[in-house]
Amino acid sequence: MNEDRRCGLYIRVSTERQVAEGESLDEQEERLREFCKVRNWKVVKVYKEEGKSAKDTNRPAFKELLRDVENGLIDTLVVKKLDRLSRSIVDFEKIYNFLQNHHVDLVSLHENFDTTTAIGRAVVRIVMVFAQLEREQTAERTLDVMEHRAREGLWNGGYPPLGYDLKDGKLIVNPEEAKVVKLIFEKYLEFASYTKVAKWLNEHGYKTKEFISRRGKKQGGSDFTDTYIARVLKHPVYIGKIKYKGKLYEGQHTPIIDEKTFNLVQEIIKSNYKRTSSVKRQIKHNFLLEGLLKCGFCGAFMTPTWAKSKGRRYFYYECTTNQHKGRGTCEGGSIRADLMENLVLEKMREISQNEILLYRLVHNASAEAKAKVNKLEEKRIILKLRIKELEDKGRKYTRQLVEIKGKAAERFLLKEIEEIDKQLKELERELETVETEIQRWKEYILNTELIKESFKYFSKIFPQLSPPEQKGLLKMLIKEIVFTPSQINIYFFEMPEEEIRLNLPKAVGFEENFKWLPGQDSNLQPMG
């Protein structure tokens, strides 16, 4: 095979497989590198996928691989086993055709074939058919076993729920935790609110169930949240039932809650759901900063919410910690959504019209990136020239080795050739790093150009977009917004050295008008 191949190594391990077989990313990479080294193939990039299943192609490193194939970065893809790439014959067919269309060969160590031969291409499809068949049969057997266990009244849900321990595959009541479960049901009948129950438990020092994960890590033992309370209250396991695929089976375990109490709680939950669903259908607010706005005290996202006063509905962003664990848990509080959004949009419009600030935010970053690319390009040229010099020198010594006679001269030339080979490998590794950096900075330049144009025409573009598109544009320009009652920091896109931000001191109620001009260190300072 051609010895000038540019190889990409794709390695993947799912959590389940890593636990079962002790297989690791490092072990896969080492074997693939050894394989390429023997054949004098150059490894230009390694694509690492950790804890990702191959049942579909929605994997970050895999998507990066496809982009590099399109850009011609590699001409050979090497994997340990075909199922590392895909377990679905349908997905594999698409992957294989994609590689073929871009003239990229596929090599698998385990199956011992490559797609440069007709036999190799046929074997690929045959192996994947059997891999798909085996996976489907395994899934069917697993589902059959789980359904059988449910019918027998045995627990199927992994770690046991609060109130129970697991012994010999059966649920056993944990007396201390069972008291907490009963408290949860009692308090919900009193408060009719997940959040209020969670807050009461946290204030009285109760914690969630503690357990040791399969990886030996301690889990749980934390504060209660509204979602945790909801799971407990809705779970039929507490009345001695096992739920599987929407059906209830009589369990072998002892119930903690009587059915009358459980059913009464379900009625309250249902009633609350109908009331909140009816109100939500009346609520119309886009919450443009959803997913961007964070609490400056605890770091949690600020979640959209609403309140009603004197017949009028007001919309807010509230610290998620307070929503899940009860108001007052975090001092971050909440902020009126319309005032917050108007303030941010106004600042975005001012930036788009401020040539000096826009230049500083975007142009400087792009110019710095271009300067880095230029330096790297110079370094790449020097490295290539040095590599060529060494290759020419190596060929010269090789010719002399064939022509000379005498062991002394032969030993000298062999030593020189070995040293040249060592230097070449070091230079090639350095060249690989430089080329990767060049590609990264070029992508950055493209991004900054797009951001500059988006900023420049923000005022014209934004009103014409749909609410989802408006959210998308803001997320492209803004990394995050951190809110405290005294200050709001808007962090823009990633910069090469440090993040550029706007410090916006809070006006009372956000109702006072401010004028803004560029200040020192890329901050906007209030005037007068």
Q: Which residues are catalytic?
A: 14
Exposure string of 284-294, with b = 16+ CB inside 10 Å and e = fewer, is eeebbbbebbb
Residues near 369 by Cβ (< 8 Å), separated by ≥ 6? Answer: 441, 444, 445, 448, 496
Query: HEC profile for 255-286?
Result: CCCCHHHHHHHHHHHHHHHHHHHHHHHHCCCC
Q: How far apart, in whole angstroms, are the C-alpha atoms of residue 31 and residue 23?
A: 12
Residues near 309 by Cβ (< 8 Å), separated by ≥ 6? Answer: none
Q: For the purposes of burial, counting CB atoms within 10 Å of the CB of 495, is it exposed (0-12), middle (13-18) or buried (19 or more)?
A: buried
Query: Residue 444's closest CA among 355, 371, 343, 512?
Result: 371
* 528's tokens: 């007068």
Q: How far apart, in whole angstroms, are the C-alpha atoms of residue 159 and residue 191?
A: 29
Residues near 52 by Cβ (< 8 Å), separated by ≥ 6? Answer: 12, 14, 59, 60, 61
Query: Residue 490's closest CA among 499, 506, 503?
Result: 503
DSSP letter, residue 37: H
* 250's tokens: 């009589």
Query: Residue 299's closest CA among 319, 279, 316?
Result: 319
Residue 317, SS3 per DSSP = strand
Query: Residue 482's closest CA among 240, 297, 288, 279?
Result: 297
